[in-house]
Amino acid sequence: MAGARTAEEAAKKVAWINDPRIRGLAYQIVLIAIIVLLGYEFIHNAALNLEKQNIASGFGFLKNTSGFAIVQTLIDYSEESSYGRVFFVGLLNTILVAVIGIVLATVIGFVVGIARLSNNWVISRVATVYVELVRNIPLLLQLFFWYFAVLRSLPNPRQSLEISGSVFLNNRGFFLPKPVFGEGAGLIGIALIVAIVATVAIRFWAHRRQDRTGRIFPVFWTGVGLLVGLPLVAFLVAGMPVTLDYSVLKGFNFVGGLRVIPEFVGLVLALSIYTATFIAEIVRAGILAVSHGQTEASYSLGLRPGPTLRLVVIPQAMRVIIPPLTSQYLNLTKNSSLAVAIAYPDLVSVFAGTVLNQTGQAVEVLLITMLVYLGLSLVTSLFMNWYNARMALVER
Amino acid sequence: MTDRSIAFVRTEYVEKLPAPKTTIGPVAWMREHLFSSIPNAILTFLGLYIIYLVVPPVIEFALVNAVWTGEGRDACLGSEGACWAYVGAYFEQFIYGRYPDAERWRVDLVFSAGALGLVPMLMPTVPFKRANAIFLLGVYPVAAFVLLTGGHVDLNGFLLPDALMAPSTLKFWVDYGIVAAVLAGGAAFLTAQAGADIRNTVRVVLGIFAILGLAIFFAGFDFGLERVETDVWGGLLVTLVVAITGIVASLPLGIVLALGRRSKLPAVRLMSVIFIEAWRGVPLITVLFMSSVMLPLFLPEGVTFDKLLRALIGVALFSSAYMAENVRGGLQAIPKGQYEGAQALGLTYWQMMGLIVLPQALKLVIPGIVNTFISLFKDTTLVLIIGLFDLLGQIQSSFTDPTWATPYTSHTGYLFAAMVFWAFCFSMSRYSIFMERRLDTGHKR
């Protein structure tokens, strides 16, 4: 403050209403008051309306008997099970679709994204057309296409498409042989664990040796050999305890084996093919973000194209790829709720659909459902943030 | 060096030899781009095989074997191709749904007025952007509302008890006037406390109320148009109404939320973060379920919204969260000097935002807004799950019609829907890329 005007004098001249602290406080109090008022109004109205419609409130309904069957359950479930059980069945089905969809979408997406950058004119054009075509068509339409137009119009079980008498595809679903683990099958599991530990140990040792002597050990192929070979040896030693249970046509349908319901196949196909286009674009952008100088520098150091891609380009590209990739995974998980349109028994379909219609407890059911998705989103983004932070540390 | 050395000096140039066949021409191009190595050649054949697997059957289905004219399913039953005659017969329904035949000119008028307002808005070189924006965001929504629904909304008043004054349009305006007067008075009191000129404040508050009142007046005015209930709307009309209302309503809400998220006031910031993250964390279907099942429970008795309006509210809230994140990206891209410069000039928060920061930030996020619009446009198909008939819902419901039941009706319908959605989304994404290039003027990293 210049001259004779002191800070106190200036403060006196400012009206209380122009004090930013008082203003800020007032704004926040008004905002909170409005929200509390609205919340009270909503809850009050909801209580009145529910009472009028004779609908119970609270979470007691979760213990009631459901009384309906579900076509695909990963845990024991029958019509006598409770609504709480229905919730877990739906949740597991959602997670199953999301996980398999994410794996497939990632594989397709990376292949297509790299293909778009290929020198090969045919391949890059095919990839471009795929991306531009598929990502501009609504997912629900694609889901309808796969489910109603493709899977539902497959031949009936008697004329099903088959691959060497073990895999069958018809309008009842996708029939695969089911592995049956006999006595001694545990040995294979032990062998697999040993192989994993050995691979990690070899990788560690190879790193140390390379630092010391500069000699490179083929860790990748040794690892593959161990991971495939050890369980195979264990399988033979234990006297081949794993047998396959084939699906057999009996009457009008198949019995035995592993049946994958067409709703699941359709949903996974639609989700992974649609999301893969977005992942492909992310991968392409990520690789393009690594400047060409990096590749040239790597070549001038004498690295061959393979190690250049693996050691120089991909680690830097991953840093650009991972954050948007996370949001695509989340999108896929959320989009799996479209299952309700083709009646795949996921969380939204059985819980927010059937259970809500049976009990009428819309508020509780939708609250639980939304919290689950919110929770899945938060967990995924936390994990990805952690991974991202780890990746970013490599910088220096 | 001897005397006899006769230097041979050519006086004309030799004819240029053509470049080797291996470096130019189609053969060389193919060598480089298709067969540069053995794995590359294998990939080329793989690509050609994929094309062979996909393209000929699609062309055969959509063009060669297709049936273009005919009445009823008999025309299409024999062929192995698309039944375009069915699309032709249903075309009007796919666009208007069950909107009454005699009133369809209103929909056409809304479509064409929207296109007329939008096209110059999207072209960066066309002048009068401000007038255009006022037309698109102010005049057009009211006009479209009146034309599509028929307007003549019943206004009954909301404030005074019925005993004092019977519900009527007049009562609504009396109530409206009371609210306006109270708010203007309150604002004037606060302004007086701050020692500033109250006339300006009162003018601003009353101006806002006058503009809003004008819109309500037109919505309530009887233009003599027949009332068309929203449950007969369908097809592309519903798709466009949901998508455009969603994006237009989410823009102001998204801006407020984005500002809230960057606010220094902890309560405001917390509320904005919770709101944004909650909507972004849940699937649109659960939001639509919520708006169709839960929203009626929250309203006081007697207040009902129709199904379309409830879906619109859900979609607008949902997309406002995404819009907020878009706008936040734009706000963060504005250099800090702009904020500081505005503050140094003595601008208030809203002046700083409205005159300095937002005009720059919103321009930067146009591509992002278009991309949000594309995904919203695709997501509008989900409204069929809560029983509204958008384009896809209308097509899906036409499959049950026995007059056109053939093995390929559903394939044809899906193909048609895919073409329409693809045309819209692809052109929008091209536009977004065009704007991105145009706006990328080099000051960004």
Domain membership of residue B111 (yes or no) is no
CB count within 10 Å of CB B169 equals 15
- Helix (H, G, I), strand (E, B), or coil: what is residue B410? helix
A372 & A273 share domain: yes
A210 and A348 within one domain:
no
pLDDT of residue B194: 75
In a domain, B120, yes or no: no
**What's the token pair of residue B370?**
């278009």
pLDDT number for residue B272:
93
Q: What are φ and ψ of residue A249, in 5° steps?
A: -75, 120
Would residue B53 count as lying in a domain? yes
Strand partners, A82: A65
The pLDDT assigned to A153 comes to 79
Give the closest-approach CA distance of A377 to chain B in angstroms.
Answer: 6
What pLDDT digit, counting tens, does each position of A306-359 carry? 888 888 988 888 888 888 888 898 899 999 999 999 989 989 988 888 888 888
How far is the C-alpha of B381 from the C-alpha of B296, rounded, in Å? 22
Residue B392 near residue B65, CB atoms below 8 Å: no
- Location of structure tokens 């007025």: B113
Which of A27, A32, A366 is opposite residue B293, by nearest beta carbon? Answer: A366
Nearest-neighbour CA in chain B from A366: distance (Å): 7
Q: Compute the distance between CA of residue A242 and CA of residue B237 in angstroms, rounded to an integer.
A: 58
Average pLDDT, chain B: 87
Q: Is residue A61 part of a domain?
A: no
B271/A120 Cβ within 8 A:
no
Q: Is there a domain that residue A105 lies in?
A: yes
Q: What is the pLDDT of residue B167?
A: 75
Per the structure block, which two tokens stand in for A334? Answer: 């959320």
DSSP letters for B91-138: HHHHHHBT--GGGHHHHHHHHHHHHHHHHHHH-TT-S-HHHHHHIIII
Asked which of B27-41, B114-128, B207-221, B413-427 is least confident by mean pLDDT, the reply is B27-41
Between positions 58 and 97 of A, the ones with CB within 8 A of B are none
Indicate whether A124 and A273 sit together in one domain. Answer: yes
How far is B185 from chain A, CA to nearest CA, in Å? 16
Query: How close is the nearest chain B Cα to the Cα of A159, in Å?
Result: 18
Contacts of A200 (CB under 8 A, 6+ apart): none
Residue in chain B nearest A49 by alpha carbon: B297
Instruction: Say if the Cβ atoms of B414 and A123 lie within 8 Å.
Output: no
Q: Provide the CATH number for the domain around residue A330.
A: 1.10.3720.10
- The answer to whether A55 contacts chain B (CB < 8 Å) is no
Instruction: Flag whether A286 is in a domain.
Output: yes
pLDDT at B112: 92
Instruction: Tell which of B289, B313, B433 to mutate to test the A interface (max A CBs under 10 Å).
Output: B289
If pLDDT is split at 50, 70 and 90, which confidence band does A12 have? low
Contact A366 B289 (CB under 8 A): yes
What tokens appear for B140 in the block?
């057009």
pLDDT score recorded for residue A6: 62
Q: Is residue A257 part of a domain?
A: no
What 8-state DSSP symbol labels residue B356? I
Instruction: Give the distance from residue A259's alpha carbon to the nearest chain B alpha carbon, in angstroms.
Output: 26
CB A261 within 8 Å of CB A293: no
pLDDT over 70 for what percent of chain B?
98
Residues 23-42 of A with CB under 8 A from B: 24, 27-28, 31-32, 35, 41-42
Of A120, A153, A373, the CB nearest to B40: A120
Q: Note which residues in 209-248 of chain B have CB less than 8 A from chain A.
A: none
Q: Is pLDDT larger for residue A181 or for residue B97? A: B97
Say if residue A366 is in the same domain as residue A306: yes
| Domain match, A307 and A207 both | no
User: DSSP letter string over A189-258?
Assistant: HHHHHHHHHHHHHHHHHHHHHHHHH-----HHHHHHHHHHHHHHHHHHHTT--EEEE--EEETTEEESSE
B46 touches chain A (CB under 8 A): yes
Output the six-digit token pair for A307: 């190690």
Would you call B95 exposed, middle or buried from its count of C-beta atoms within 10 A (0-12, 13-18, 19+)?
buried
Closest in A141, A337, A352 to B417, CB measured: A141
Say if residue B291 is in the same domain as residue B375: yes
Q: How much is the pLDDT for A10? A: 58
Residues B53 and B95 in one domain: no
| Residue B133 located in a structural domain | no
Cβ neighbours around B309 below 10 Å, total: 14
B268 with A144: Cβ contact below 8 A: no
Residue A142 lies in a domain: no
Mark whether B312 and B381 lie in a shared domain: yes
Q: Which helix (H) or strand (E) holds A242?
A: strand A242-245
Specify the higher pLDDT residue, B138 or B382.
B382
Question: Helices in chain A by DSSP H: which ranges?
Answer: 7-13, 20-52, 83-116, 121-134, 139-144, 186-213, 219-237, 262-289, 292-300, 305-307, 314-335, 356-359, 362-393
pLDDT at A273 over 90: yes
Q: Are residues A273 and A380 in the same domain?
A: yes
**If you ran DSSP here, which 8-state letter would residue A346 be given?**
-
Mutate: best of B29, B297, B432, partner A, most A CBs <10 A: B297
Residue B144 in domain: no
Residues B53 and B94 in one domain: no
Token code pair at residue B15: 């004819």
User: Among A50-64, A208-222, B381-395, which stretch is predicted with the lowest mean pLDDT?
Assistant: A50-64
CA separation for the pair A257, A239 (Å, rounded): 22
Average pLDDT of A18-38? 88
Are A375 and A281 members of one domain? yes
How distant is the Cα of B136 from the closest Cα of chain A, in angstroms?
A: 26
User: Is B350 a residue whose pLDDT tops 90?
Assistant: no
- Tell me how far apart the alpha carbons of residues B297 and A53 are, in angstroms, rounded to a whole number: 10
A261 touches chain B (CB under 8 A): no
> Is the model more confident about A184 or about A174?
A174
Inter-chain residue contact B194 with A118, CB threshold 8 Å:
no
pLDDT at A106 exceeding the cut of 90: yes
- CATH code, domain carrying B348: 1.10.3720.10
Q: Which residues of B touch A144 (CB under 8 A)?
A: 392, 396, 414
Which candidate from B48, B268, B382 shows the least CB-CB separation from A27? Answer: B268
Q: Is A374 on the interface with B (CB under 8 A)?
A: yes
Which of A244-253, B75-84, B289-298, B365-374 is predicted least confidently?
A244-253
Instruction: Say if the Cβ atoms of A334 and B384 lie within 8 Å.
Output: no
Q: What are A170's strand-pairing partners?
A: A173
Q: Is A6 a member of any domain?
A: no
- Residue A174 pairs with which residues in a beta bridge? A169, A260
Whether A73 maps to a domain, the answer reads no
| Chain B residues near residue A20 by CB distance under 8 angstroms | none
Are both B326 and B399 inside the same structural domain? yes
- CA-based nearest residue to A197, from A157, A159, A230: A230
Coil/strand/helix, residue B316: helix
**Most confident listed range (A264-278, A306-320, B281-295):** A264-278
Q: Do A137 and B48 touch (CB under 8 A)?
A: no
pLDDT tens profile A120-159: 889 999 999 999 999 999 999 999 999 988 888 787 777 7
Q: How far is B159 from chain A (nearest CA, A)?
A: 16
The verdict on a CB contact (< 8 Å) between B271 and A362 is no
Region of poorest pLDDT, from A194-208, B149-163, B384-398: B149-163
Residues of A in contact with B430 (CB under 8 A): none
Residues in B closer than 8 angstroms to A352, CB to CB, are 286, 289
Burial A331-363 (b: 16+ CB within 10 A, else e): bbbbbbbbbbbbebbbbbbbbbbbbbebbbbbb
Q: Return the amino acid letter for B156.
A: N
**Among the partner residues A24, A121, A374, nearest to B282 by beta-carbon distance:** A374
Closest CA–CA distance from residue B267 to any residue of chain A (Å): 6
- pLDDT score recorded for residue A5: 55
- Band of residue A2 on the pLDDT scale cut at 50, 70, 90: very low
Output the pLDDT for position B343.
Answer: 92
Give the pLDDT mean for A252-267: 82
Contact B264 A24 (CB under 8 A): yes
Domain count, chain B: 2
Interior/surface letters A60-84, b for 16+ CB within 10 angstroms, e for the rest: ebbeeebeeebebbeeebeeebebe
The tokens for A214 are 């500069």
B50 touches chain A (CB under 8 A): yes
* Interface A:B, Cβ pairs < 8 A: 154
Q: Are residues A283 and A367 in the same domain?
A: yes
Q: Where do runs of H (alpha helix) occur along B353-407?
A: 358-364, 366-379, 391-398
Are A222 and A276 contained in the same domain? no
**Beta-bridge mates of residue A175:** A168, A259
pLDDT attached to residue B444: 45
In a domain, A111, yes or no: yes
Count of domains observed in chain A: 3
> Cβ–Cβ of B385/A16 closer than 8 Å?
no
Residues of A in contact with B296 (CB under 8 A): 49
Please tell me what DSSP assigns to residue A82: B
Find the helix or strand (DSSP H, E) in which B204 lies.
helix B198-220
Q: Do B299 and A45 touch (CB under 8 A)?
A: yes
pLDDT of residue A327: 85
What is the residue range of A383's domain?
83-133+262-393
Residue A243 pairs in a beta bridge with A180
Nearest CA in chain B to A348: B286
Mark yes or no for CB contact B265/A340 under 8 Å.
no
Question: Among A25-29, A90-94, B14-18, B220-224, which stretch is predicted with the lowest mean pLDDT?
Answer: B220-224
Residues A269, A221 share a domain: no
Q: How far apart are CA A222 and CA A201, in angstroms?
A: 12
Q: What is the pLDDT of residue A38?
A: 92
Split at pLDDT 50, 70, 90, the class of A1 is: very low
Burial of residue A183 (CB within 10 Å: 0-12, 13-18, 19+) is exposed
A267 and A339, same domain (yes or no): yes
Cβ-defined contact of B266 to A28 (cutoff 8 Å): yes
In a domain, B315, yes or no: yes
Are B295 and B348 members of one domain? yes
Count of CB atoms situated within 10 Å of the CB of B434: 14
Cβ pair B410:A149 closer than 8 A: yes
Residue B434 forms part of a structural domain: yes
pLDDT in tens, B414-435: 999 999 999 999 999 999 888 8
Contacts of A137 in chain B (CB under 8 A): 378, 418, 421-422, 425
Boundaries of domain holding B247: 90-99+231-404+424-445
pLDDT in tens, B146-202: 888 887 787 777 777 777 777 778 888 888 889 999 999 988 888 887 777 888 888
